[in-house]
Amino acid sequence: MRKDAGIDGDAQRISQLVWMVFLKVFDAKEEEWERLYDNYEPIIPEGLRWRDWTADDKGMTDEELLGFVNNKLFKGLKELHFDGNSHSKACIVRSVFEDSYNYMKSGALLRQVIRKLNEIDFTTQKDRHIFNDIYETILKDLQSAGNAGEYYTPRPVTQFVVNMVNPRLGEKVLDFACGTGGYLLSALEHLRQQIKSVDDNRILQETIIGIEKKPLPYMLAVTNMILHDIDIPKICRDNFLTRNVEEYKPVDKVDVIMINPPFGGKEEDGIASNFPLQFRTKETADLFMVLLMYLLKENGRACVILPDNFLFEKDTVKINIKKKLLREWNVHTIVRLPKGVFEPYTDIETNLLFIEGGKSTEHIWYFEHPLPDEYKKYSKTRPIRYEEFEIERKWWNNRSANEHAWLVSIHEITERNYNLDIKNPNKNKNDDCFSADKLRDVMINTSTKAINLMEERKKNTIAFLDYVRSINRKRRKYKIGQLLTRIKDTLILDDETQYKRVTIKLNHGGIYLRDIVYGKEIGTKRQFKISRGQFLLSRIDARNGAFGIVPEELEGAIITGNFWTYEAKHELLNIDWFNLFTSTSEFMAIVKESSSGTTNRKYLDERKFLQFEISLPDKAEQDKFMQYYSAMIENYESLKKELERQNHMMGYIKDHYIG
């Protein structure tokens, strides 16, 4: 795949591999269902099934194969029709392919991949085990495919958490940031041991639920669940943060939640408004923590993985979250994990917070997970192993304080203003502390990094400003209508199909999911589809900053005629550059001057809007500008992290050398 001109990096290679594996796995399952059920109606139409177009190796030329995949296979699966009488499996297939693409441009190389995949027979139990190797290899490769750490929780951790939370057959188990499905698969293996009848198996199929907003991990999770005999995986492509938490009813709540929210993630403007005022923040992990409390039944059980900063940070929102958590739920155990558990994605120390309903927190047991002998931390080559949790498992049901475990009362926690970052009092203080020399080295190293980053930022800033001055002399004037083309992708809604509807936040707040509803719930049946990367604006509120670029997760969503969609002329315009430009006062002046009407009902005049001229560099210079700009942002984030480490070290000094 890496030889193919269309594969640009590991993210595309993995995405390409996953849709092909999914199609082969689903075809193997359909063969199995055809044997098991009389009059089984195939979900994937004849001609598009894996066996139909890959079995005859010489049936098509390389060019014909490529044309079939691009023009027939993807079109047919993306437009797969289903209604109230259709099987739920049809919805799964279409949802997998909604955001999938064939990146390969060589029919010959595509054929080689097909031949290699056809060496595996997913209808046999022996070859199914091969998929586990494929799956684990993909997970390891994800580290080079961007922000992939949010997709993956080490299997020893998910196994330990599931065993301690101990979900029981018939309980609803939810992971609303399920990534590639690690918790769901561990829960599945745990619950399978409780099955004693056909009805038990049916209950199992209905009670493991996952939510994931990104297409690649979603595909991986669905594929693996199907291969593990969950015929209709209850995994949804969605972002639960887009719904107002106070709208959740008792019927929406579940018995068990196990989740590893993305660390350090930031949500777009508008998401926080779905939460009560005292919990509003852009930090994803904090919002997921609040959402957990709204989704868990009163007598439910949960475990959430959170970084150290959730425990010790003193900002108002985090304190409010911890107050609600401890007053309304019983946080009975915090397992403190060492550095490196989530290598290679992050090196930060993390914690397993075990929660149960029914009473407020009276005290918390802390357990410090020990590193194996001679380990300074876990790493990619020395990962955490399931056997190492044996010390926690033996202690779990027969608790007492020891060198690893200690008990803290709620009184002490409230006295500390809800700082949960409490060190092990039973450990030799000298063992728990850096030596003075080591501390000096760490502080000097951190300071040196920060100074170097500041110097780098200074040089980059000077170079960037010089570059900006140089391209300002090379600008040309273009009418907006020369850069954007209006798109009207009309869609007549089907009553039994679910649709994503979007809305646009004011003041350049961006585009986000409004809700997902059936067509029968929408009055106006003629709507318009949008695609990622398009420029979308509200003709009513453009003057108030209601516009933005359609994000990847809203591909295929629908809008009314009051929203207008434009495709960039990519030979002239870098859409990221244009998105940056739309946040300027110059663009706001354009949309305001193009809007007219009564005071409260001013509409954008499209003709006038498209006639406005803007100056911009040529496309290559825009691309270069965005590279500079992105590097500046990345440098700033790195500098911010080093300063946060400095702040953390000062807290460490206070706790260990003063306190």
Q: For residue range 79-111, what is the model confidence (pLDDT) as tens digits?
A: 887 665 657 788 888 888 888 889 999 999 999
Of the candidates 66, 16, 19, 15, which has an alpha carbon nearest to the alpha carbon of residue 44? 19
Average pLDDT for 429-449 = 65
Neighbours of 412 (CB within 10 A): 13
Q: Round to whole Å and give the CA distance between 539 and 601.
A: 10
Cα–Cα distance for residue pair 201/33, rounded to 1 Å: 16
Query: Residue written as tokens 């939810």?
Result: 174
Separation between Cα atoms, residue 150 and residue 532, nearest integer Å: 22
Q: Return d(Cα 609, Cα 593) in angstroms, integer.
A: 8
* CA-to-CA dists, residue 522 to 80, 488, 530, angstroms: 21, 19, 17
DSSP character for 514? E
User: Of residues 148 and 75, which shows the higher confidence score?
Assistant: 75
Whether residue 338 contacts residue 369, with contact meaning beta carbons closer than 8 Å, is answered with yes
Is there a contact between 495 and 520 (Cβ–Cβ < 8 Å)? yes
Chain segment 505-563, per-residue pLDDT in tens: 888 888 888 778 888 888 889 999 999 999 999 988 898 899 999 988 888 999 998 89
pLDDT in tens, 233-277: 999 988 888 889 988 899 999 999 999 988 777 777 788 889 998
- Residue burial 156-178, b: 16+ Cβ < 10 Å; e: rest: bbbbbbbbbbebebebbbbbbbb
Averaged pLDDT score across all residues of the chain = 86
Contact 609, 591 (CB under 8 A): yes
- Higher pLDDT: 585 or 652? It is 585
DSSP single-letter state for residue 417: T
The C-alpha atoms of residue 157 and residue 161 are separated, in whole angstroms, by 6
Answer yes or no: are the C-beta atoms of 203 and 197 closer than 8 Å: no
The predicted structure's pLDDT at residue 143: 57
Say how far apart CA 508 and CA 548 lie, in whole Å: 7
Nearest-angstrom CA–CA distance, 291 and 303: 13
Distance of CA 586 to the CA centre of its chain: 34
146 — pLDDT class (breaks 50, 70, 90): very low
Residue 347 is predicted with a pLDDT of: 73
What is the per-residue pLDDT for 57?
A: 62
The tokens for 488 are 């009207």
Query: Given this model, what pLDDT does residue 657 score?
Result: 66
77: left (phi over 0), alpha (psi -120 to 50) or beta: alpha
Contact 267, 282 (CB under 8 A): yes
Q: Which of 118-122, 180-184, 292-296, 521-525 has the highest mean pLDDT?
A: 292-296
Q: Determine the pLDDT at residue 438.
A: 64
How do 363-368 and 490-492 pair as beta strands? unpaired
Who's near 252: CB < 8 A, 6+ residues apart?
295
Q: In what order do the strands lie in the sheet with 526-529?
A: 490-492, 526-529, 558-559, 498-505, 510-518
Whole-angstrom Cα distance, residue 346 to residue 80? Answer: 40
pLDDT at 327 (0 to 100) = 94
Phi, psi of 337 (to 5 degrees): -95, 150
Torsion angle (degrees, nearest 10) of CA 593, 596, 599, 601: -120
Pairing of strands 330-336, 526-529: unpaired
- Give me the pLDDT at residue 13, please: 86
Residue 222 near residue 200 (C-beta atoms within 8 A):
no
Interatomic CA distance for residues 562 and 539, integer angstroms = 6
Cα 500 from Cα 505, distance rounded (Å):
16
Q: DSSP for 46-71? A: TTTSHHHHHS-TTSS-HHHHHHHIII
Residue in 556, 581, 557 with CA at minimum distance from that of residue 568? 581
Q: How would you class 253 by CB atoms within 10 Å of its CB: exposed for 0-12, middle for 13-18, buried for 19 or more? A: middle
Alpha-carbon distance of 273 to 387, in angstroms, equals 43
CA dihedral angle for residue 628, residue 479, residue 546, residue 214, rounded to 10 degrees? -50
What percentage of the chain exceeds 70 in pLDDT? Answer: 92
Q: Residue 430 pLDDT more than 60? A: no
* Number of Cβ within a 10 Å radius of residue 428: 9
**For the chain, how big is the Rg over CA atoms in Å?**
27
pLDDT tens digits for range 182-228? 899 999 999 999 999 889 989 999 999 999 988 888 888 998 888 88
Give the integer Cα–Cα distance in Å for 505 and 548.
9
23 falls in which pLDDT band (50, 70, 90)? Answer: very high
* Contact partners, residue 367, CB within 8 Å, separation at least 6: 333, 334, 335, 336, 392, 395, 404, 405
pLDDT tens-digit readout, 298-319: 999 999 999 888 888 888 899 9
Which two three-digit tokens encode residue 280? 């509003």
CA 311 to chain centre: 23
| Mean pLDDT of the region 315-326 | 92
Q: Where are the beta strands (DSSP E) in 77-214?
A: 173-175, 208-212
Q: Within 10 Å of residue 417's Cβ, how many Cβ atoms? A: 10
**pLDDT score of 332:** 96
Q: What is the pLDDT of residue 100?
A: 87
Nearest residue to 131 (alpha-carbon basis) of 230, 225, 9: 225
Q: Lowest-pLDDT range, 82-91, 143-152, 468-477?
A: 143-152
Q: pLDDT class for 363, splitting at 50, 70, 90? A: very high
Determine what percent of the chain is predicted with pLDDT higher than 90. 42
Tell me the three state secondary structure of residue 590.
helix
